[in-house]
C-alpha cells in the first residue's frame, strides 16, 4: 500500500470543504492508496508550463 503525503495547502483546503465533500475526497484518496491505477483512469498530459511529474 502506498503512503500519501498531503501538502500543507492541500490539507488546509480539505479542512475548508463542507463535511460531505471532504468525506468524498478522503474516500477517493484512500481508494487511490489501495489501487493507484484504477481501470477508468486517464494518463495526465501537460498543460502549458505545468506538466505531471
Question: Domain spans of the chain?
Answer: 1-36
Inform me whether the pLDDT recorded for 53 exceeds 60: no
pTM of structure: 0.66
CA angle 51, 7, 25 (to 5 degrees): 85
Q: Could you give the CA distance from residue 23 to residue 47 in angstroms, rounded to a whole number?
A: 29
pLDDT tens across 12-51, in order?
999 999 999 999 999 999 998 989 888 888 887 766 666 5
Inform me whether the pLDDT recorded for 52 exceeds 70: no
CB 3 within 8 A of CB 36: no
Instruction: Point out which residues pair with 17 in neighbouring strands.
Output: none
Long-range contacts of 23-27 (CB under 8 A, 24+ apart): none
Amino acid at each position: 500500500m502506498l503512503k500519501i503525503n498531503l501538502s500543507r495547502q492541500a490539507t488546509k483546503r480539505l479542512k475548508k470543504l463542507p463535511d460531505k465533500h471532504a468525506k468524498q475526497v478522503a474516500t477517493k484518496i484512500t481508494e487511490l492508496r489501495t489501487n493507484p491505477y484504477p481501470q477508468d483512469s486517464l494518463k495526465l498530459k501537460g498543460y502549458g508550463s505545468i506538466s505531471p511529474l
